[in-house]
Amino acid sequence: MKSNRSNSDWLHELKGAAGVQTQRQAHEDLANYLYVVAYNYLRLRQTDIAALDRFAEEEKAALAQDFVQETLEKLAADDFALLQNYRGDGRFLSWAASVVRNQAAQELRRSYWTRRIAGSVDGEEESPLPLLTLPDLTPASNPADSLEQRELASALQDCIEALPERSRLAFWWTVAEDIPAASVADHFETTANAIYLLVSRARRQLRECLQAREVTPFALAA
């Protein structure tokens, strides 16, 4: 990584003001730095998140790479609007490190990381996985329903259905149906760790799909 960048150099180069090649190198250097930050953060958090503690080193590495990708996408969104939050107090890299750690922390707070992993309780067999039937997300027809709400529901439905089958099933069963990752893993003949990775990547793919349809974060929150 280029070691003599100043804080202003980072901002200048990441935004592309110094040319495409310099911008590409700045993004690569930042990605490499943030990967180390994200990976070390996962190593730290594995002591209090049992599901993460079961991850092999290569699985933690893959998850760290996902967090880095998500962070870089956030930095680049809306013509690098997020960079305006950096006020020049302290090193830019320290600020960027806090962004990727926050990204990882937000993900690890989700229920599928902290819920029980076991596929059965007290020796009882787990109920079979339900058939995947996506609900109709379109609001009921009434004069109060806005066109924006209907368009958002349609976009969300389309983006879920566009996910690769394994990702779509893993995401829906684990997140929407609240089924333990181990039970979903048994269905796929894989590991719970692999399901966590599938769900994490499905969330990113959904976000990218919705952004491509120009669905704003404000609209999603509403």
Q: Establish how many alpha carbons lie within 13 A of residue 76's alpha carbon, considering only the half-sphere containing its beta carbon.
A: 17
Out of 10-19, 48-57, 135-144, 204-213, pick the least confident.
135-144
pLDDT at 221 exceeding the cut of 70: no
Distance from C-alpha of 202 to C-alpha of 207, rounded to nearest angstrom? 9
pLDDT at 103 exceeding the cut of 70: yes
Domain ranges (residues) in the chain: 7-109, 147-221
What local confidence, expressed as pLDDT, does residue 30 receive? 96
pLDDT at 120 exceeding the cut of 60: no
DSSP annotation of 55? -
46-94 pLDDT, tens digit per residue, is 888 888 888 888 888 989 998 998 899 889 988 999 999 998 889 999 9
b/e 68-97 (16+ beta carbons within 10 angstroms → b): bbbbbebbbeeeeeebeebeeeeebbebbb
Q: What is the pTM of this model?
A: 0.67
What is the rounded average pLDDT of the residues 108-117?
72
- Render 98-159 in DSSP notation, one character per residue: HHHHHHHHHHHTSHHHHS---S-BTTBPPPPPPP------SPPPSTT--HHHHHHHHHHHHH
Nearest to 219 by CA among 120, 146, 119, 143: 146
Cβ burial of 175 (10 Å; 0-12, 13-18, 19+) is middle
pLDDT at 136 exceeding the cut of 80: no
Cβ burial of 202 (10 Å; 0-12, 13-18, 19+) is buried
Torsion of CA 96, 102, 105, 110, to 10 degrees: -130
172-213 pLDDT, tens digit per residue, is 888 888 888 888 888 888 888 888 888 888 888 888 888 888
pLDDT at 2 exceeding the cut of 50: yes
Q: What's the mean per-residue pLDDT of the chain?
A: 81
What local confidence, expressed as pLDDT, does residue 126 receive? 47
For residue 201 the two structure tokens come to: 């990547």
Torsion of CA 84, 89, 93, 94, to 10 degrees: -120
What local confidence, expressed as pLDDT, does residue 3 receive? 65
Distance from C-alpha of 30 to C-alpha of 12, rounded to nearest angstrom? 13
Superfamily of domain 147-221 in CATH is: PhyR, sigma-like (SL) domain (1.20.140.160)
What local confidence, expressed as pLDDT, does residue 97 receive? 96
Q: What percent of the chain has pLDDT over 90?
A: 32
Nearest to 137 by CA among 119, 115, 155: 155
pLDDT at 219 exceeding the cut of 70: no
User: Of 34 and 47, which is predicted with more confidence?
Assistant: 34
Distance from C-alpha of 176 to C-alpha of 79, rounded to nearest angstrom? 33
